[in-house]
Structure 1
Amino acid sequence: MKTRFARWLCASLLGLLLVGVALAVPLAGAAAGKGPPTPLLWKVSARDGSSLYLLGSFHLLKPDDYPLAPEVDAAFAKSTRVIFELPAEQVESPALAAQMLQAATRTDGRSLRDDLSPAQWSALQAYASGHGMSVEALAGYEAWFVGLSVSLAEMAAQGLDPSLGLDQHFMRQAASAGKPTGGLETAAEQIALLDGMSLEEQRQMLAEALDDASEGNQQTRALHDAWRAGDAKRMWSEMALDMKRQYPALYRNINVARNDRWVPKLERYLQPGQGTTLVVVGTLHLLGEDGVVEKLRARGYQVERVGAP
């Protein structure tokens, strides 16, 4: 099974997914009664008593993904601050969508059609025609943006909503409780990750988005189900390792390099007197040998999974 770019990004990037829904279709209704998701939650403790809760996010969720498990609510209650991938003020700023659109808009005098094979262009035409989109308008954007927009439209049709994502939920909770928040990187840095993709990677992203839409979005459901089940092993083995094998350069840029930049920033919150901090980031940043959890464990901190089945 191939890992779809946008599915992997759904558990990896935040800001781009929140503002890329301009082409999304209306949300579908969601079934209720599944019970709270099993949390992907770890506690990292320093010797002096300062600690981090690391919570794996899914950036688009459904109404029936709430309420959360009591362990997650307890971690929020114990924390004096909440840290996200992006600062809350950037996520909430109208300038974020403008930044993304500026990066995605073509300025080279070429059309998206020039970058695609005849078969890919025909597939995009068919998708646009069937979903009330203007293929001529899409032709003015980079392939990565169109691929991400198609994927987000399909996720929205399944009832997955960025406003219900775990990040947005805790941004609202922190604001209501008066808890300070912060970010590990900027919107400009996240946008540069996608805008810096090679043309081959962008074509692959768009082709897979169209292909997955035609197959009924099975991988999106599988990834969401694994997140709900708290199945860290499945998410790592079927999603992250697959991406690592197929797209090693992209995997290093989107996952490994960012994790390496985040770890020193997270260690600041483990210094004496920092108390307890809740960190909410894309789940795949926490998993496997390249994940933040293992990198902090390797630096000598005590790490334990909280609320595991």
Structure 2
Amino acid sequence: MKRVTVRKWIMALGFAVTTTAYAENVEHDQTSVWKVSKGDDAVYVGGTIHILPISDFPLPSKFTQTYEKSDTLVFEVKMPDPADIEGQRKMMAGLAYAEGKTLKDDVSEETYEALNAYLSNFGATADQLAQFKPGMVASMLVAMEAQRSQLAGQGVDAYFMQLAARDGKNSEYLESLDFQINMLANMGAGEEDRLISETLETLPELKDMLKSTIKAWREGDTKKIDELVVATFKRESPASFDDVFTKRNQNWLPQIEAMFGDDGQEFVLVGAGHLVGDGSVIDLLEAKGYKVEQM
């Protein structure tokens, strides 16, 4: 069985963690921030990691310097606040099976038992998660493993959202919450058993598998990010790749182009996997004739 699902689905969902072993936070000549220019006008685009332990702060200085000179921060989506009961209820309902069906109907007995065994480490059972669709369950498993490994923490997106709110900067979003809910709800459709079983198999390797990915993000190593994340996803799940990467990148392009020609300075922050390789946001902008410089 190929062990690719955790990396593939984590990056698709935007969930990524790093290990405390990489805590030196050394500055490099470049990182995952790009300046996109049209004449004298520019929009900045930064690749993000959505879960980042406190040990990996401070961020590369290019991120904070770009933030300081920006008027508007543009994120993928605005997730409901934990205190927003209605928003949380809407999200959970969208990621749950319709009444009368559960995860148990979509995976083998062996996989369900393996899920139950893993969850027993947290005092939980598979039946307690069975109402949720595979994409949601997989992301929950990754989050739980990250927490158990003391890797969980505020991500780059959440960090800048809080800064923008504190500093009175504008925040805008490329996608609706409904879109993101539907995307996550549809992940794993047709390969439910494979998604859950491979995720469970690969969780023990989470630290080592992601260490090089996070290092590549910090150093702006686009070839390595493409190799570790994008190329693997595209090879293993071309249909999901189109839905999660290709189509979304294309949907974001006109929104980013519309940011040129105004008086404000925008800083667009999206998952780093969307900014590397063929068909990425950066590739599409270059193809449209914009001047692109990695910072």
Q: Same fold (TM over 0.5)?
A: yes
Aligned counterpart, 2:107: 116
Q: TM-score, normalized by length of structure 2?
A: 0.89
Q: In the TM superposition, what whole-angstrom CA distance separates every residue of 1:65-103 from its partner, at most 9, and x where no partner exists?
A: 111222221111111111000137779844443222112
Give percent identity, aligned residues only.
29
User: For 1:295 and 1:29, how far apart are their aligned partners in 2?
Assistant: 32
> Is the 2:143–2:152 contact (alpha carbons within 8 Å) kept by the matching residues of 1?
no
Please say if 1:101 is aligned against 2:92.
Answer: yes
Q: In the TM superposition, what whole-angstrom CA distance separates every residue of 1:48-69 from its partner, at most 9, and x where no partner exists?
A: x221111100000011211122
User: For 2:275 and 2:91, how far apart are their aligned partners in 1?
Assistant: 26
- Written as runs of structure 1 = structure 2, the 5 A alignment for 1:135-214 is 135-162=126-153, 164-214=154-204
Q: In the TM superposition, what whole-angstrom CA distance separates every residue of 1:187-212 from its partner, at most 9, and x where no partner exists?
A: 11011012123533333221222011
What is the deviation of 1:7? 3.2
Aligned counterpart, 2:36: 44
> Is the 1:41–1:55 contact (alpha carbons within 8 Å) kept by the matching residues of 2?
yes
The change in CA–CA distance for 1:256 and 1:158 in structure 2 (over 3 A counts) is same
User: For 1:97 and 1:89, how far apart are their aligned partners in 2?
Assistant: 6
User: For 1:31 and 1:274, how far apart are their aligned partners in 2?
Assistant: 42
User: For 1:82 and 1:3, how far apart are their aligned partners in 2?
Assistant: 36
What is the deviation of 1:214? 3.7
Q: In the TM superposition, what whole-angstrom CA distance separates every residue of 1:136-188 from its partner, at most 9, and x where no partner exists?
A: 212222222222211111122233335x1000111111112211110000111
Q: TM-score, normalized by length of structure 1?
A: 0.85
User: For 1:92 and 1:301, how far apart are their aligned partners in 2?
Assistant: 41
**Unaligned ranges ≥5, structure 1:** 19-26
The change in CA–CA distance for 1:129 and 1:273 in structure 2 (over 3 A counts) is closer
**Unaligned ranges ≥5, structure 2:** none
User: For 1:217 and 1:231, how far apart are their aligned partners in 2?
Assistant: 19
Q: Which amino acid aligns with 2:234?
A: K
User: For 1:28 and 1:280, how far apart are their aligned partners in 2?
Assistant: 19
Aligned counterpart, 1:54: 45
> Is the 1:111–1:140 contact (alpha carbons within 8 Å) kept by the matching residues of 2?
yes
Aligned-residue CA RMSD in angstroms? 2.7
Q: In the TM superposition, what whole-angstrom CA distance separates every residue of 1:6-42 from its partner, at most 9, and x where no partner exists?
A: 534544445xx59xxxxxxxx9994685125652011
What is the deviation of 1:2? 5.2
SS of equivalent residue, structure 1 residue 249: helix
Q: Which amino acid aligns with 1:79?
A: S
Matched positions, count: 293
Q: In the TM superposition, what whole-angstrom CA distance separates every residue of 1:196-249 from its partner, at most 9, and x where no partner exists?
A: 235333332212220112445432333223323332211101221111011000
The change in CA–CA distance for 1:160 and 1:102 in structure 2 (over 3 A counts) is same
Aligned counterpart, 1:7: 7
Please say if 1:86 is aligned against 2:65.
Answer: no
User: For 1:169 and 1:2, how far apart are their aligned partners in 2?
Assistant: 35
The change in CA–CA distance for 1:91 and 1:291 in structure 2 (over 3 A counts) is farther
User: For 2:44 and 2:92, how far apart are their aligned partners in 1?
Assistant: 34
User: For 1:104 and 1:131, how far apart are their aligned partners in 2?
Assistant: 22
Q: In the TM superposition, what whole-angstrom CA distance separates every residue of 1:86-130 from its partner, at most 9, and x where no partner exists?
A: 137779844443222112222241332221112211211211222
User: For 1:305 and 1:265, how far apart are their aligned partners in 2?
Assistant: 20
SS of equivalent residue, structure 2 residue 190: helix
Q: Which amino acid aligns with 2:239?
A: A
The change in CA–CA distance for 1:273 and 1:181 in structure 2 (over 3 A counts) is same
The change in CA–CA distance for 1:149 and 1:62 in structure 2 (over 3 A counts) is same
SS of equivalent residue, structure 2 residue 172: strand
Aligned counterpart, 1:72: 63
